Chain A
């Protein structure tokens, strides 16, 4: 089983739609979670951190469910500029070493007019 799993998509949605991405992780001791955005042939950029209580940044809402070991990202009122690949990132706590951030393979979103 992969340490971090995401639905690869693509999710094709019209402008204005609400879209949700889920991500599951296998290590129950993981403590930090992030969503990154990656545009085609560009570097990943931090979209938002995910906190236990859930957090919101404008049209974006992230939630964490520790019991089920999944993280979600909700995008409301989708814009054409939201088209990108969204990467779920989980820290792997040390087993004799240091924390490592592990990336999911990403979910591709395409927003059309």
Chain B
């Protein structure tokens, strides 16, 4: 059971570089989301999607872009990395467009911006 797969698991970037964090799920879930987790602050929602072609902003969207061209994939793009984006990033998916259902998480991407 693959579930939610995130790549890469670790990444170090220099300030100003761009990169894409990949997220894929094989459970045919409509709802996908990206969170970042910083010490003492819990998980904060960056962007989410309720289906292919539909995305919306979460609590901390600045500096990040997303797209949802397929049900399976929900990549997160950092256009110009900043040290403040050093964090652990989790992708999650769940059932139901108007989701009252729990979400399943990938095992995270640890990102450091120098």
Contact = CB atoms under 8 A, between A and B. Distances in A.
Interface of A: 8, 31-32, 34, 36, 42-46, 49, 87, 89, 91, 94, 97-106
19 contacts: A31-B100, A32-B100, A43-B105, A44-B90, A44-B105, A46-B103, A49-B102, A87-B42, A98-B48, A100-B45, A100-B48, A100-B58, A101-B33, A101-B99, A102-B45, A102-B59, A103-B35, A103-B43, A105-B41
B40 to A, nearest CB: 6
Contacts of B106: 43
B107 interface: yes
Interface of B: 33, 35, 40-45, 48, 50, 56, 58-59, 90, 97-108
Contacts, number: 55
A89 B48 CA distance: 16
Given A43-B90, A44-B105, A45-B105, A104 B58 contact: no
Given A100-B58, A103-B43, A43 B99 contact: no
B98 A106 contact: no
A106 B40 CA distance: 8
B42 A105 contact: yes
Given A34-B102, A102-B45, A42 B107 contact: yes
B45 A101 contact: yes
